[in-house]
Amino acid sequence: MRRVGEAIMHAMALGLGLDEHFFDSRMDDSFWVMRLIGYPPLDPAADGVGISCGEHTDYGCLTILNTDETTGALQVKSKSGEWITANPIPGAFVINIGDMVNACLRIVASLQVWTNEIYTSTLHRVIHTKGNFRVSVPFFFEPNFDTVVEPLPICVERSGRPPLHKPVMYGDHLLRKVGGNFDISSAE
Ligand SMILES: O=C(O)CCC(=O)C(=O)O
Ligand SMILES: [Fe+2]
C-alpha cells in the first residue's frame, strides 16, 4: 500500500510542477494507519435513517480505500454541494485527498496545506442501509511524524492566493485531531 501511495505522490508532484521525488523524504517514514471497519446496516424504515459515519475530511495526506461490493453507502460532497455516491469499481481503490494536501491559515495539515488548497480535502460520509454487514479497509498514507507541512511556494504562486495555512508539524496536527476525538490527557 505504501508503494501505491508513493506512486500517487510522484504523479501529484509532477502535476504540481515539482520534482517527482519532492515528497519522498517527507513521507519515507510515513505514520500510516490501516483500519478494518465493519458497518451493521441502518434500518431504512426507521424515523431518521441515521448515519453510519458522519461527514468529515480525512486529516492526513492520502486515503487509499478498499471496500466490499456494497453500493450506495459511501457519499462524497461535490463542488456544487450535492452528495454523490462513490460506488466501488472492481479492481480500483477510492482515493481521498486529506487535509495535509490543502495547507495555509486554517489549522489543518498535509495535502490541502501543501498545495495551498489547489487540492482540497474530500468531504465524505457513509450511510449504509442495504441488508449486509459492510466492510471497508482504508489505508491512510501520512507524512512522517516530524514533517513540517506548509504551503509550497509553487502552489502559493499557482493558486493566486496568499498562503492559506501556517506551517504545522504533522505529528502535532495528528495529536490535536486525536485529542479532539478522545481524551488523551490522562494517557501518561
Ligand atoms: O467506510 C468508508 O467507505 C469510509 C471510511 C472513512 O471515511 C474513514 O475511515 O475515514
Ligand atoms: Fe474518511
pLDDT tens readout for residues 9-58: 999 999 999 999 999 999 999 999 999 999 999 988 887 888 999 999 88
Q: Is 136 in the pocket of ligand 1 (CB under 6 A)?
A: yes
Higher pLDDT, 184 or 107: 184
What is the model's pLDDT at position 47? 78
Return the ligand 1 atom nearest residue 52 CA: 1
Q: Name the residue at shortest CA distance from atom 5 of ligand 1.
A: 138
Question: Could you count the other beta carbons within 10 Å of the beta carbon of residue 166?
Answer: 16
Ligand 1 geometric centre to CA of 53 (Å): 7
Tally the domains of the chain: 1
Mean pLDDT calculated for residue range 141-150: 94
Distance of CA 57 from the midpoint of ligand 2 (Å): 6
pLDDT for 53 = 94
37 in any annotated domain: yes
Expressed in angstroms and rounded, the spacing between residue 114 Cα and the centre of ligand 1 is: 23
Residue nearest to atom 9 of ligand 1 (CA): 138
> Looking at the domain assignment, is residue 89 inside a domain?
yes
Q: What is the mean pLDDT of residues 100-108?
A: 47
* Cβ of residue 4 lying under 6 Å from some atom of ligand 1: no
pTM: 0.87
Q: What is the reported pLDDT for 133?
A: 97
Our answer on whether the CB atom of 138 is closer than 6 Å to any ligand 1 atom is yes
Indicate whether residue 62 lines ligand 1 (CB < 6 A): no
Angle 27-177-141 (CA atoms, 0-180°, nearest 5)? 25
Does the residue 131 lie in any domain? yes
Q: What is the pLDDT of residue 108?
A: 45
Mean pLDDT of the chain: 87
Instruction: Provide the pLDDT confidence category of residue 181 given band limits of 50, 70 and 90.
Output: low
Q: Which ligand number lies closest to the CA of residue 72?
A: 1
CATH of the domain at 163: 2.60.120.330
176 or 92: which carries more pLDDT confidence? 92
Residue 131: domain span: 2-176
Whole-angstrom distance, CA of residue 16 vs CA of residue 56: 25
